[in-house]
Amino acid sequence: VAVKRYVILAEGAFDEEAKTATGVMRYAESPTVAVIDSTRAGTVAGDHVPGLVSDVPVVSELGEALPFEPTTLLVGVAPAGGKLPETYRTAIIDALANGLDVESGLHDFLGDDPEFATAARLSGRELRDLRRVPHGLNVPTGANLAVPAHTVLTVGSDCALGKMTVCLELDAEARRRGLASVFVPTGQTGIAIAGWGIAVDEVISDYVAGASERLVLEGHERGGDGVILWIEGQGSLNHPFYSGVTLGLMHGSAPHALVFVHEPGRQTIDGDPRYAIPSLTELIDDQVRMARHVRPAAVVAVSLKTNRLDEDAARAAIAEIERETGLVADDPVRFGAGRVLDAVLSARR
Amino acid sequence: VAVKRYVILAEGAFDEEAKTATGVMRYAESPTVAVIDSTRAGTVAGDHVPGLVSDVPVVSELGEALPFEPTTLLVGVAPAGGKLPETYRTAIIDALANGLDVESGLHDFLGDDPEFATAARLSGRELRDLRRVPHGLNVPTGANLAVPAHTVLTVGSDCALGKMTVCLELDAEARRRGLASVFVPTGQTGIAIAGWGIAVDEVISDYVAGASERLVLEGHERGGDGVILWIEGQGSLNHPFYSGVTLGLMHGSAPHALVFVHEPGRQTIDGDPRYAIPSLTELIDDQVRMARHVRPAAVVAVSLKTNRLDEDAARAAIAEIERETGLVADDPVRFGAGRVLDAVLSARR
């Protein structure tokens, strides 16, 4: 198998908000050899993202990345405004001309752009649109209820809480312990990291549960009988925009257990005062009530995003939420995934 | 405005399961002048559908329908197996060649078929794919919370309970009483009946709430301030396949009130023993718990599908469910929509 080596296009935007770029650098098996962001050229990646230990060079254009022998250009941030700026177009065409494949998580598919499609054909390279959903999706078959795997879905109180990251940390910890474990990607960053998956929010709503079932079946094929599947959650049941994605994913993946993800102190959805976040105990009850329609599942642990708190405040918040919910709570990114994994494993018995 | 006159293509399938065909015949303003079904040719429509009073002729092919001066061929049933059979292709091409427009609620769009597209262009007629969603959809803006209308959504315990029909009956009864009232279509049959709407199950799951918000805004534009909007429900929160559509529609339409639809005695989703239907009081609580994340809304009445019960059994079931839920219950199709409408109006105060 040829080794994939990424150069990540993050022009003007390589910071902690660049979730696909930083997610791939943190978690993908394939290494990143350079980041393109002319506004930060001459630095290293670790300078811009808290907690990212990385001396990967940030360069101003593709040409400067070529000495590091990348095989694949990853479009790692969505440009503001939607339309693809000229700097992106140039970098993508240059990459194809220089023998690189191109991966993109953008809503607008590169493969549908005649210029890119032609350039890819001429160079014999591949354009991979990570959000493009497969053909032949349908409603679930019910096979999700019979998969010989232990399926764990991350749910939560809002978007942008790190539901994917929690799955990746739990998966890594489980594999460190020698357990059969597979991360199941449901969005473009997870797909970029793991190299497979379906962006379920791009699937027509009729088939979102069916796509989720298919992902569980594929996760089992990859991990074998008895595997633990960590299913990347999307949105939240109380999210005014994305709750349909969340519930379809829940019912289609038919989890055995749920890990509830929250940020202590977050009180409104995405900071919008029109949408208050209810108490955790109410929200946890909501998850259980909705999950039961396909398969009874409990929330077995709470995973907290505490990166805006100092360490004492983080530990206090964790203790407070353990008291409030009666569940194990922890921040797997900051303090390790061990306690949350223990809670998942002990609930499996 | 030219009057639309339908001929409905329902080859081999004109019975009570032909929901689009019979829905249009019962509820659309535009008249149906003939039905094409060679297996029932020589009869009238009312012979095949219980409760449908109609002497519209059933004919064996389009040519026999032309004397009744149809303007529009409606593809009124989905052919079994998915692929469009030759009889359908012939009828569609013949219709275009004879100066008719063609409307279709099929999953596969007629407009994407080169033969149909060419025939439409040559004849100067229109192909209308009712399930094709508009461009430019996105997530909700929050305008759904500020629409000066009273929004009522039908929810329920399963699919295929008549959630659309209940809305249409309530809308008709409200208009009979002189109230400003608009039926808001969210599926292909509703769109065929009302002539506008979006098939929300065809929208990518990311935008299903946004599409639902857009429908409420358009309903208000059509009905004016103070209008009652009857939003056609889809699926159910406890449905293992379609719950994502249901919750996205609920949160995007942000209803003020819910009417819960059920069939007495139905115990499993679509007859599948893997998916038991919980008690009505539990399900009603589920609706209220999910709705509150966008806007608090109560279930204000229960609408029952009693057509498989004799009249005494139907009245007994209604009384029993009133006791069980503490809500007004009735079958609006069988016994009139007055009591359920009264319950909606009195809860609005």
d(CA B268, CA B265): 9
Closest alpha carbon within chain B to A187: B206
Q: Taking Cα atoms as reference points, which of B258, B224, B266 lies closest to residue B340?
A: B258
CB B91 within 8 A of CB B12: no
pLDDT tens sequence for chain B (349 residues): 568 999 999 999 999 889 899 999 999 999 999 999 999 999 999 999 988 889 999 999 999 999 999 999 999 887 766 678 888 999 999 999 999 999 998 888 999 999 999 999 999 999 999 999 999 999 999 999 999 999 999 999 999 999 999 999 999 999 999 999 999 999 999 999 999 999 999 999 999 999 999 999 999 999 999 999 999 999 999 999 999 999 999 999 999 999 999 999 999 999 999 999 999 999 999 999 999 999 999 999 999 999 999 999 999 999 999 999 999 999 999 999 999 999 999 999 7
For residue B221, what pLDDT is reported? 98
What residues in B contact A213, CB-CB < 8 Å? none
pLDDT over 70 at A174, yes or no: yes
Identify which of B205, B292, B294 has the shortest CB distance to residue A245. Answer: B205
CB B246 within 8 A of CB B234: yes
Closest alpha carbon within chain B to A288: B286
Identify which of B202, B206, B289 has the shortest CB distance to residue A245. Answer: B206
CB B213 within 8 A of CB B168: no
Q: Is B56 on the interface with A (CB under 8 A)?
A: no
For residue B107, what pLDDT is reported? 83
Q: Residue B183's beta-bridge partner residues?
A: B230
> Contact A240/B202, CB-based, under 8 Å?
no
For residue B74, what pLDDT is reported? 97
Of how many residues is chain A composed?
Answer: 349
Closest alpha carbon within chain A to B248: A244
CB B28 within 8 A of CB B192: yes
Q: Is B201 on the interface with A (CB under 8 A)?
A: yes
Identify which of A204, A209, A251 has the shortest CB distance to residue B204. Answer: A204
What residues in A contact B201, CB-CB < 8 Å? 204-206
CB A45 within 8 A of CB A7: no
What are the pLDDT digits (tens) for A261-308? 999 999 999 999 999 999 999 999 999 999 999 999 999 999 999 999
Q: Is B140 on the interface with A (CB under 8 A)?
A: yes
Q: Taking Cα atoms as reference points, which of A300, A297, A218 lies closest to residue A251?
A: A297
- Token pair, residue B111, equals 């407009």
What residues in A contact B142, CB-CB < 8 Å? 240, 272, 274
What residues in B contact A200, CB-CB < 8 Å? 205
For residue A51, what pLDDT is reported? 84
Computed over every residue of chain A, the mean pLDDT equals 95
Q: Which residue out of A133, A205, A236, A284 would a mutagenesis test of the B interface target, given it has the greatest number of B Cβ atoms within 10 Å?
A: A205
How far does B208 lie from chain A, in Å, by closest CA? 7
Q: How many separate helices (H) and strands (E) can be counted in chain A?
A: 12, 12
Identify which of A238, A242, A252 has the shortest CB distance to residue B206. Answer: A242
Write the DSSP string, A222-271. HH-TT-EEEEPP-S-TT-TTTHHHHHHHHHHH--SEEEEEE-TT--BGGG
> Contact B241/A139, CB-based, under 8 Å?
yes
CA end-to-end distance (rounded Å), chain A: 38
Q: Is A145 on the interface with B (CB under 8 A)?
A: yes
What are the pLDDT digits (tens) for A94-144? 999 999 999 998 888 999 999 999 999 999 999 999 999 999 999 999 999
* Type of residue found at B303: S
For residue B78, what pLDDT is reported? 75
For residue B101, what pLDDT is reported? 97
> Contact A238/B293, CB-based, under 8 Å?
yes
> Contact A244/B247, CB-based, under 8 Å?
yes
Mean pLDDT for A57-75 is 97
Three-state SS string over chain A comes to CCCCCEEEECCCCCCCCCHHHHHHHHHCCCCEEEEECHHHCCCEHHHCCCCCCCCCEEECCHHHHHHHCCCEEEECCCCCCCCCCHHHHHHHHHHHHCCCEEEECCCCCHHHCHHHHHHHHHHCCCEEECCCCCCCCCCCCCHHHHCCCEEEEEEECCCCCCHHHHHHHHHHHHHHCCCCEEEECCCHHHHHHHCCCCCHHHCEHHHHHHHHHHHHHHHHHHHCCCCEEEECCCCCCCCCCCHHHHHHHHHHHCCCEEEEEECCCCCEHHHCCCCECCCHHHHHHHHHHHHCCCCCCEEEEEEECCCCCCHHHHHHHHHHHHHHHCCCEECHHHHCCHHHHHHHHHHHC
What residues in B contact A243, CB-CB < 8 Å? 209, 247-248, 251, 290, 293
For residue B80, what pLDDT is reported? 67
Q: Is B340 on the interface with A (CB under 8 A)?
A: no
How far does A201 lie from chain B, in Å, by closest CA? 5
Beta-strand runs (E) in B157-286: 181-184, 228-231, 257-262
* Type of residue found at A335: F
How far does A338 lie from chain B, in Å, by closest CA? 33
Closest alpha carbon within chain B to A247: B244
> Contact B208/A244, CB-based, under 8 Å?
yes
Between A and B, how many CB-CB pairs are < 8 A? 132
For residue A2, what pLDDT is reported? 63
Write down the pTM of the prediction. 0.95
Burial A119-145 (b: 16+ CB within 10 A, else e): bbeebebebbbbbbbeeebebbeeebe
Largest CA distance in chain A: 62
Identify which of B204, B210, B242 has the shortest CB distance to residue A203. Answer: B204
> Contact B247/A237, CB-based, under 8 Å?
yes
Identify which of A203, A206, A278 has the shortest CB distance to residue B242. Answer: A206
Q: Is B135 on the interface with A (CB under 8 A)?
A: no
d(CA A5, CA B295): 48
Mean pLDDT for A61-72 is 97
d(CA A109, CA B285): 42
